[in-house]
Amino acid sequence: MLLLWLLLLPLLLLLLPPLAMLWPQRFRDARPSWLIRLQHQVAWVALGWAAAWQQRKLEESTRHAGQSQQQALVWCLKRAPSPCCLPRGNTDMSTFRNHLPLTKTSQAQGEENEEKHLPPALPQYHGEASLQATLLGLVTLNKAYPEVLTPGSTACVTPTSPWPSPVPWLGHALGRVSPLGTKDTRTLLLEALVSPGLRVLEARTAGELLDVFVGLEADGEELAEAIAAGNLGTTPLPRRAAELQEALEQGPRGLALRLWPKLQVVVTLDAGGQAEAVAALRALWCQGLAFFSPAYAASGGVMALNLWPERPQGFYLLPPGIPFIELLPIKAGAQEEAPSTLLLTDVQREEEYELVLTDQAGLTRCRLGDVVQVVGAYNQCPVVKFTCRLGQTLSVRGEVTDENLFSAALAQAVEQWPGAKLLDHACVESSILDSCDGSAPHYEVFVELRGLRNLSEENRDKLDHCLQEASPHYKSLRFRGSVGPAKVHLVGPGSFRALREALATCPSSFPPEMPRVLRLRHLAQLLQKRVIS
């Protein structure tokens, strides 16, 4: 009987959408309808079974993490493109490490070929970790915030979902107000705006959600007119249009909750360089809302899954599977001479490690540059938080100013700029833009702000002072004149949205990560052309 239900459920899920199209338009527009509720209930039954199966697999693999990792390595080697450099049939870890040396991401190659553009990367990820992150993330989110995934309660305002693995019944299980697909961001936003009962707001990344809210403020009047006129194929909604205009007139702070009073949680996919966008959203548009990322993603795919949506800071479980994960210990001042990699069962709590990924497609042990700190354990596997990226460092005289240090100094400086809120920033070493003009090498800093339209020289100087306070080495170089003062440029609204669009075709980038240090000249020039102060 159980097998029969497992066969009938997918069939029912496939038949319900066509049947819905036969229903009269006026009934299809009614929300909720018996058909929507039925689709949602069936989808959740299927999702519950699938999630329970994935939970059992996760428990088994994490309880025997060493054995699971060995099996994952064998799987990679068997499916690797031939010829394989490893001895035939050998899956020993020592042989694997000796025959496949560590490599880094293709940053250097990207710098050499900056004019060569590649097609955008595929928006979805693959592998067991992606499926587990989606299924288990949905179930745990529903437990942490009951009723958030009821019919008509969720809207995704970007064409790509933050849930890393697509499943046939995901749209129904989420209770989205509109299906994803070919719709653009503006259409998705309009469909979200006409649904005041939303409990969940989705976007692929926090940076993209920030773009949505900035665009909402800029195009608010036009959007309100479209809602009032019924341009979505529905009846005109003048009252909802008036509510939108009134909410916008009160400013950005708390805007999301004014538009959707029942909203509880924002779901975005975590990746490098998103912390600044999350901070801006929390401080302004999404004030008072929880944030949840179901997974951590990088160029190797989905690496870790989040089973704790109630925690304000993202904690992620590194599972044994594909991609095959190793961890490289971080030793102060010796990243290039780091010791041998460790497996998941060998790491120590509170220590920091760089992630090394291997998959069957290229069979390369790639150092991602993403650094994690072990904060706990789930059976035999580490639970980590992401701390920084090694590749995001500035160095014009060997000083090595890392991403966290610079971001903290910039945040401290912005606090001293009256009325300013930092939305985004990027840095460039002066040699990239040939901007030394006989002066000492320095940092070029591009910022997008809210609440400040012009930067005085006094304000610009505050960043350099904060950098000197944060880094004694930088302060010493500034005192000797070996490094010039950091130059701060204010760019216009939408500049970083244009940068993200350019990054989607950049050979050295893999969305959704957001670089803080730009190495490619044409990307730096893109921001340079948008400087307004």
pLDDT score of 437: 72
pLDDT band of residue 300 (cuts 50, 70, 90) is: low
**Banded pLDDT at 21 (limits 50, 70, 90):** very low
**Contact in structure between 433 and 219 (CB atoms under 8 Å):** no
pLDDT at residue 91 is higher than 50:
yes
pLDDT tens digits, 198-229: 999 999 999 999 999 999 999 999 999 999 99
Residue 302 has a pLDDT of 85
CB < 8 Å & 24+ apart, contacts of 326-334:
326/355, 326/356, 326/357, 326/358, 326/365, 327/353, 327/354, 327/355, 327/356, 327/372, 327/382, 328/102, 328/353, 328/354, 328/355, 328/356, 328/367, 329/353, 330/354, 330/371
3-state secondary structure of 399: coil
**Long-range contacts: 26-32, Cβ < 8 Å, 24+?**
29/234, 31/151, 31/152, 31/177, 31/195, 32/151, 32/152
Residue 307 has pLDDT above 70, yes or no: yes
In terms of phi and psi (left: phi > 0; alpha: psi -120 to 50; beta: otherwise), the region of 426 is: beta
Instruction: Say which residue, 88 or 383, is predicted with more confidence.
Output: 383
Bond from prior residue into 309 cis (ω within 30 degrees of 0): no
Token pair of 165, please? 């693995």
Distances (CA, A) of 191 to 217, 252, 383: 16, 20, 38
Note the pTM of the prediction, 2 decimals.
Answer: 0.88
CB atoms under 10 Å from CB of 372, counted, come to: 25
- C-alpha 67/C-alpha 62 separation (Å) is 9
Whether residue 353 is predicted with pLDDT greater than 80 in this model: the reply is yes
Rg (CA), the chain: 25
Question: Which pLDDT score, from 0 to 100, does residue 249 have?
Answer: 96
State the Cα–Cα distance between residues 295 and 153, nearest whole angstrom: 22
Q: Are 163 and 207 in contact (CB under 8 A)?
A: no
Residue 508 has pLDDT above 60, yes or no: no
100-133 pLDDT, tens digit each: 888 886 443 333 344 433 333 334 455 678 889 9
- When pLDDT is cut at 50, 70 and 90, the band that residue 493 belongs to is very high
Q: Which residues pair with 357 in a beta bridge?
A: 325, 366
**In this predicted structure, what is the pLDDT of residue 311?**
85
- Separation CA 145–CA 263 (nearest Å): 11
413: Cβ–Cβ under 8 A, 6 or more apart, which residues? 459, 462, 463, 465, 466
From 30-34, 75-79, 161-165, 457-461, the region with the lowest mean pLDDT: 30-34
Q: What is the mean pLDDT of the chain?
A: 84
pLDDT at 155 (0 to 100): 95
Contact 163, 51 (CB under 8 A): no
Enter the tokens of residue 234: 């529905």
